[in-house]
Amino acid sequence: MSLDATDNGEELMSAQAIHIRAKALRVKFKTTIRHAAATRDEGESIWIQAKRNGIAGYGEGCPRTYVAGDDLESSVKWVEDNFASGINLETLDELEKWITDNDATIDKYPSAWCAIEMALLDLFAREKGYNVERLLGLDGYQLRGRYTAVLGDDKKWKYTTLADKYLIRGFSDFKIKLNGNNLERDKEKISILEDLCTQHGVGSIRIRLDANNLWKDRCDEAITYIKSVGGRVFAVEEPVGSKNASDISKISVETGLPVILDESLCTLEDLSLYKNLPGKFIANIKISRVGGLIRAIRLIEELKGMGWPIIIGCHVGETSLLTRAALIATSAAGESLVAHEGAFGDYLLEREPTDPMLRFGRNGLLNLSFPYYFKTVQGLQVIPAENWNIGFGMRCRMPVVPDDGAPEIEFLEMPDKYKIHYRRWGSAEGEDVILILHGGMSHSGWQAPLAIQMRSIAPDITVIAADRRGCGLNEKRGDLGSVQLVIDDVIKHVEFLNKSFDRVHLAGWCQGSQYASVAASTLRDKLSSLILLTPGFFWNERFRSVLSIAEKTVMDMISEFKLKPERDYACIPIPMEATDFTLDDGWLDFIDSDELKTTMITLKTVSIMDEVQELSWFAILQNALPILAIMAENDRIVDNKKVLQFIGHLFSGGKRNRLISLDSGHAIQFEKPNQVAAAILDFIQQRRPEKSISSIKN
């Protein structure tokens, strides 16, 4: 492989060298996707940034071992091993020459190269101030595509519900994933879809089947099965082993159906396998699978010359960036295009590191030649057609793993033998320790930014954040145990810390403020202060309504379907979204990908939470400890007005208690860790007039 890359060492990199960064991207799905080759609940992409002189381009590829043989880990490693020190390319001609010279290598890592090439094309176009279409010399292009609706191999109710949604949105082109081992089930899928079309008044639809290489080395079995499925099917995709040209040809001849080539057509060399064979074939071109947009366009031109119909496909879980690039291939296919697939945006994905999020509209149409509308938590956004005139027109970012400060993770065993895990930043003994209790959906790890900042100011301070019973690293997720246990856990933890520290300061964030207040009413002089961070004594009207609706809906479903959930079974969803906490993209990514957050709780826990909230109202009014309260002005969860009406008098007159308001969302430890840390440390210092915290840095 010939790489025109600079030597290692940033000082040796020329001004023209392009810096390449690669990350594995796993975007969470809102539902599980099933087909014969895989079951997925998250995407798998390689995400690339190409940067030069402050300008960055981005690209994406979707490695799939069952598609082209490449996987995500080896793809990222290949990029890191070969492009870590940069690459010198100035023009499109140089890029195309590199591709030609390294065809064999790209065949091994097609998705990784696709991501690099996309990032370079995006970068080159942005440097020149126009879009990728102009960079590639494409005239008369159209940024539009009409999606195929994809129906997976799901349970009947789920399949039917999804088919309903597609038909309501006006879809007329469908791809059905075959089971292959249950003929009646596959026949029923077609029957259901056809019946639903009648109900929705849809007169004409087109159906193709996707076998995902079900009948590898079983060609005759495949022919019999496909013939038996019946229905208004116009083509079948990948029925046998990939690139088994003779079997593929035989299936087309015997069934009379065109065979769609996906994994069986990755390169121009693959195409030569089918040139003289009988049967009808349709090419499914995925730019990630074929090794990038430039190779995809070359393949499309060859296919058009042969008169083949073309589908521009997509990988399940790809982001809007790859779908935006594929619109170029769709336009290049021209009149040969028979179907188009693309990313489903927030219909499927929780979040993606690019904006705007692209998804189909009415009739399955994605058309960027006109203003593009999409709804966000901040309201309706309108993207003008001119947005696509620079690069790919997408605003992207690199996935970031936040620094957790490398805390010690330990546990404290309670009298009932339950282990409460906690994170500790700092020494296990000393003068001052701050014990932080987390909110309802979060866990101790969410306090890392605050802990890191406090210790950067005062290294002698120890910060501990504990996971509540049933949360985070603890067992029996979603079950708080009992009111007595969940409060006693805090009391026992404080008493444990009293043995090793001169002063213990108890802090609670959001719902954690409730638990802290109740525990403090018992602990009294065992604590030096009480710190309330966006105290969740009262929820705002929107959040209260959502909580009520979620609980009522689940209870109605339990009753309607005569379910009998076990007492310790977490079946009630916590109806919160990442945007309830912050609108910062980096932290939104963190929240959505967090495996430890609590999303489901038990029926018993719902009642425990309600009881603790009420107990906290009485406890905070009886509190005799010095109090610091920090409110978030842009809080989407807490009713700040009601909280201030309730406890505001505690901060009137004198200097004992302190109330601070920050211009922040609910997660102040994410958005304002510096200010929160400084306020807490100053408050602690003021509580010790005889001796300041000696280690606080100037």
Residue range 197-211, pLDDT digits in tens:
999 999 889 999 999
CB-count exposure of residue 380 (10 Å: 0-12, 13-18, 19+): exposed
Query: At what angle are helices 110-128 and 72-83 packed, to 10 degrees?
Result: 50
Domain 144-396 has CATH 3.30.465.10: no
**Strand residues in 486-602 grouped as ranges (E):** 501-509, 529-533, 572-573, 600-601
- Structural tokens at position 311: 């589908």
pLDDT value at position 613? 97
User: pLDDT category, 36, cuts 50, 70, 90?
Assistant: low
C-alpha 532/C-alpha 658 separation (Å) is: 10
pLDDT value at position 575? 87
* Average pLDDT over the chain, rounded to an integer: 91
User: pLDDT category, 37, cuts 50, 70, 90?
Assistant: low
| pLDDT per residue as tens digits for the range 16-34 | 789 999 999 988 887 777 7
Kindly state which CATH superfamily the domain 10-129 is placed in: Enolase-like, N-terminal domain (3.30.390.10)
- 317 in Cβ contact with 281 (< 8 Å): no
At 663, which amino acid appears? D
Tell me which DSSP letter residue 307 carries: T
Which of 202, 209, 199 has the alpha carbon at shortest distance from 152? Answer: 209
CB-count exposure of residue 417 (10 Å: 0-12, 13-18, 19+): exposed
Angle at Cα 637 formed by Cα 632 and Cα 642, nearest 5°?
Answer: 75
C-alpha 325/C-alpha 313 separation (Å) is: 12
| Cis peptide bond prior to 399, omega within 30° of 0 | no
C-alpha 389/C-alpha 149 separation (Å) is: 29
Task: Report the 10 Å Cβ neighbour count for 386.
Answer: 9
Angle at Cα 28 formed by Cα 375 and Cα 447, nearest 5°?
Answer: 95
- Strands of the sheet containing 19-25, edge to edge, are 19-25, 45-52, 55-61
C-alpha 45/C-alpha 315 separation (Å) is: 10
Which of 402, 412, 344, 398 has the alpha carbon at shortest distance from 374? Answer: 344
Is residue 660 helix, strand or coil?
strand
Domain ranges for the chain: 10-129, 144-396, 408-542+566-686
Give kind and range of the element (H or E) at residue 413: strand 408-413
User: pLDDT category, 116, cuts 50, 70, 90?
Assistant: very high
Greater pLDDT, 593 or 452: 452
| pLDDT per residue as tens digits for the range 286-317 | 999 999 999 999 999 999 999 999 999 998 88
C-alpha 329/C-alpha 285 separation (Å) is: 8
Query: At what angle are helices 156-168 and 183-200 packed, to 10 degrees?
Result: 30
C-alpha 652/C-alpha 234 separation (Å) is: 76
Counting other chains too, the contacts that 256-260 makes at CB distance below 8 Å and 24 or more residues apart are 257/226, 257/233, 258/234, 258/282, 258/309, 259/235, 260/208, 260/210, 260/235, 260/236, 260/284, 260/311
Task: Report the 10 Å Cβ neighbour count for 388.
Answer: 20
Q: Which of 124-138, 143-157, 342-356, 410-424 has the lowest mean pLDDT?
A: 342-356
Mean pLDDT of 503-509: 97
- 27 in Cβ contact with 204 (< 8 Å): no
Cα 73 to Cα 79, 304, 659, 674: the distances in Å are 10, 35, 49, 36
pLDDT value at position 461? 96
The bridge status of strand 501-509 relative to strand 462-466 is unpaired
Mean pLDDT of 280-291: 96
Compute the Cα dihedral for 559, 561, 565, 570 and give only its sign: negative
| pLDDT per residue as tens digits for the range 226-269 | 999 988 899 999 999 999 999 999 999 999 999 999 999 999 99
Q: Which CATH number is 408-542+566-686's, of 3.60.15.10, 3.40.50.1820, 3.90.580.10, 3.30.565.10?
A: 3.40.50.1820
| pLDDT per residue as tens digits for the range 557-569 | 888 888 888 888 8
User: pLDDT category, 570, cuts 50, 70, 90?
Assistant: confident
| pLDDT per residue as tens digits for the range 598-644 | 999 999 999 999 999 999 999 999 999 999 999 999 999 999 999 99
The bridge status of strand 354-355 relative to strand 395-396 is antiparallel
